Structure 1
């Protein structure tokens, strides 16, 4: 049960994310004026609106404000991008780094990290042979290609990570690693097939790359302008067709 006022709750969400009202509004997908009016007590939002704001900011609504720990903010962000106009799409893609911090890949439910002793393409084919139904994310999904490993730490979703007991867990001596996460309904919603491989939408792949540990985040940031230009051209091409 929520006992604090909506104004106080929304303000706490925003301050925990260390964002201005404008940046916070962009993150959760509502007008900045709405956040301002809620925080000032001028508007008393409905419960569904509070849920939308909390979900977009990566929180659950309860007696205390707690991180969701799920991919719900990712799904909301990708859906906003795919439904936006060309100009708005470019701006939203450049803001993906803000969304990525809401769901670090290593803190998601069911995550497992394994040593990667083969090219990512070979690893994905092995998972397919195992019947794990892998879905590729991170920079490989951004590039639509698993012929070469672009990510320092690739991210792959499978049906049941807990069943992959034959893989070697990550260790300090391993040369590289792969992050394996369970497939969720949100992942299924944004999965597409590229040259016979199940991949997440490029925007989601970018989010996972930005939310990965180590140098992966810095590398992903350098690709943001390219992705912004790409999704804008894709939208314009689709409109022309």
Structure 2
């Protein structure tokens, strides 16, 4: 895959303009444009800066997520106004893009959420998720209730966990954090399903269960974590999460 294609795919994945990618990677916009037009054959270090700034890696003949969960934990810290809790790597890159200020625009929130989610795709993490359901499960809430009854610590995430009525809202593919998904499958006799067909069980690796909130007898991650996890998920969750990101400052003020 040539350099022009690599850069175009990086931009297309995250919906970045040439200027956006240039700021994130600390290169000039003209450099990005010249690479894409085939007028510049960049050094590997230049390409690596663009890949690292967006959390992407080369895999065969394509560009894919690095599966770096610190991208989401850092984005959560930024949106919660806890700048010092963000990874310095991401903080520096996002500061150049203007994504670390308290006065973030809806478009900035969306840009940050899309990039963080794509950099931290669950399917690309070393601890890949399991998709499961209870035997004879009728609604998605049955599974977290069974976890609680079995004494398993858990937290629900994904698009459903961003909604005001999240304990009763319908969901097609919720995400549930548990420490050891495989052990939980054996303990509860869960049935494994095809990806995106059941509930995703995934191990927390970057503080995802910090600040768990209980509503309607169910345990949820914070709404900002849930939004970012929706972008890191598959199916239609990222597409639907855009509306949540674009209204984020109006729903919950971003602290200074």
What band does the TM-score fall into relative to the shorter chain? 0.5 to 0.7
Query: How far did residue 101 of structure 1 move?
Result: 2.3
Q: CA RMSD in A?
A: 4.0
CA distance in 1, matches of 2:204, 2:170: 22
CA distance in 2, matches of 1:122, 1:52: 45
The reply on whether 1:143 has 2:128 as its aligned counterpart is: no
Contact 2:140 2:171 in 1 (8 A): no
| Residue number in structure 2 paired with 1:70 | 68
Q: Does 1:178 align with 2:199?
A: yes
- Equivalence for 2:190: 167
What is residue 87 of structure 1 aligned with on the other side? 103
TM-score (norm 1): 0.66
Matches within 5 A, 1:1-241: 15-17=8-10, 18=12, 19-24=16-21, 57-59=54-56, 67-83=65-81, 84-88=100-104, 90-95=106-111, 96-108=113-125, 109-115=127-133, 117-143=137-163, 145-163=165-183, 164-165=185-186, 166-171=189-194, 177-188=198-209, 191-195=210-214, 197-231=218-252, 234-235=253-254
In 2, Cα distance between equivalents of 1:126 and 1:204: 23
Q: Is the 8 A contact 2:214 2:220 kept in 1?
A: no
Change (3 A) 1:52 1:171: closer
Indicate how the Cα distance of structure 1 residues 99 and 119 shifts in structure 2: closer, same or farther if over 3 A, else same.
same
Residues 73-110 of structure 1 deviation map (CA, whole Å, 9 limit, x = unaligned): 11122222222544216343222223322233334323
- Distance apart, 1:33 and its partner CA: 5.8
> How many residues are aligned here?
212
Q: Is the 8 A contact 2:177 2:202 kept in 1?
A: yes
Work out the CA distance in 2 between the residues paired with 1:91 and 1:131. Answer: 41
Check conservation: 1:137, 1:205, Cα contact below 8 A. Answer: yes
| Cα distance in 2, alignment partners of residues 121 and 52 from structure 1 | 43
List runs of 5+ in structure 2 lacking aligned partners: 35-47, 58-62, 82-99
CA distance in 2: counterparts of 1:52 and 1:131, whole angstroms: 45
**For 2:19 and 2:251, how far apart are their aligned partners in 1?**
25
